[in-house]
Structure 1
Amino acid sequence: MRRNNCDSPLPQQTRKIGPTRRSVSGYYPFRLEKHIQYESALERDFIIRKDFSLSVQDVIPQPCQIPFVLNGQSFNYTPDFLVFYKLGTASFPGYTKPLLVEVKPAQEWRKNWRKWLPKWKAAYAYAKQQGWIFRIHDESRIRDVAFLNITFLERYKRMQFSHEESEYILKTVQEMGSAPFHYLLARHFMGIYRGQGIAHLWHLLALRQLDCDITLPLNDFTELWIPEHDSE
């Protein structure tokens, strides 16, 4: 099994993405460390999902070229992304395998799956050889409840709050292990400060100073805890 070792060099982008008339293209600022190219709105949303996840180590666009044969002719297929995950507290055998991904709208892959099957079979075999997993992600895997939550939290990222108040909230959560949203709101923001408190708690979650099960709807009963940044 290869490319699972954290000391191994990560693959680099193999194909540059140029301007396109048929879809949205651009660069996404991944954790303010680098810019990741995308060539559709769905690809951009995929990166947004991975950017939010603390278990994700890195996302590499256009990571490799995979040879395949169709009707006796040789071609190269370039998947959209390769996602590496952090080892965290898991043992190496239990480590989440890197994910090789093709991002395609459901309408497109359902219409063209027979034509694209040879290259996807080649990608599956290549990923298995590398110790990776190959998957196709459409809207159902990307624009789900988690994505709606992430886009909702985006508006709270740039808000400014007292550092002392933030530390007080985080200390409460740290001491309790976890706490529901409504409890923290009642404990730290009563009366006229309730509205400010709601924004403050979402702000801490948006900045990943707090964590939750992002796959569930966000509400007063959302359970919050301190993320283990170093171990994920």
Structure 2
Amino acid sequence: MPSRIIPKNYRNVTGVAAHKKAVGKAMFESTLERDFLSLLEFDSDVESFEVQPIRIDWIDDEGKNRSYTPDGLIHYRKKNRPPRLFEVKYRNELAEKWQTLKPKFRAAIRFAKQEGWRFKLVTDKEIRTSYLDSVKFLLPYVRQGPSDEAHVDLLIEKLKILDVTTPALLIQNIFQDQWNQAMLIPSMWYLVGTKQIGCNLNQKLTMSSKIWILN
């Protein structure tokens, strides 16, 4: 359960994302947070994440009680990789409010160190990339799953033979008619999204993208 309730926000977009890796509700207070949660959902190294799971209390330089709630906590699959507290911010907001935010981030760093965690500040520069566009395109196919298990086998076996090709050429080498070719497309993007078929996700995904089989 979040450490604080996320209010309705008339400046940014607020809501709840449907993510399987989320522990509790995957709530967000901005489209930037929403996009970062999508990246976490897609990341195979991430086991789970929590939104605003803790509140950090500290005393400032003037002796006043302060509190700060980081945006979330990431748990990784590899046990030797420590959990990571994170805060998502636009770069222009950081520049405008740095003097106010800096003590909060210092408190988060201290708290994370005590817990054996790490603290990470994530901005729109790291989030809003071509990779994010690919993730947003692929996630619906990953959630839906393959349209037909037989299609998965056909695609993988044919790609092993072709080695390196494009989505368009791959489906054309399996079926001649456009109807059956179209039936293969959801399963093909599912395989890309689940990293069974390789593709450069830092470039826009099209039917002309280069693809290859992943072992």
Q: TM-score, normalised by structure 2?
A: 0.79
Query: Which segment is superposed worse, 118-127 or 156-165?
Result: 156-165
Would you say the 8 A contact 2:158–2:174 is kept in 1? no
Identical-residue share of aligned pairs (%) = 25
What are the residue-to-residue correspondences of 1:43-122 with 2, within 5 Å?
43-72=33-62, 73-87=64-78, 92=79, 95-122=80-107
Q: 1:141 aligns with which of 123, 126, 129?
A: 126
- Aligned-residue RMSD, C-alpha: 3.1
Cα distance in 1 between the residues matched to 2:96 and 2:4: 25
State how many pairs are aligned: 206
- Deviation, structure 1 residue 20: 2.1
- Deviation, structure 1 residue 180: 3.4
- Deviation, structure 1 residue 181: 4.5
More contact order relative to length (CA 8 Å, sep ≥ 6): 1
Within the alignment, does 1:42 sit opposite 2:27 as a pair? Answer: no
Deviations 1:108-156 (A, max 9, x none): 0111112211111111121122121111111111111210111222465
Task: Name 1:168's counterpart in structure 2.
Answer: 154
SS at match of 2:25: strand
Cα distance in 1 between the residues matched to 2:99 and 2:111: 19
Q: TM-score, normalised by structure 1?
A: 0.74
Cα distance in 2 between the residues matched to 1:199 and 1:69: 54
SS at match of 1:63: coil
Task: Name 2:164's counterpart in structure 1.
Answer: 180
Cα distance in 2 between the residues matched to 1:209 and 1:216: 14
What are the residue-to-residue correspondences of 1:203-218 with 2, within 5 Å?
203-206=190-193, 208=194, 210=196, 212=198, 215-217=201-203, 218=205
Gaps of 5+ in 2: none
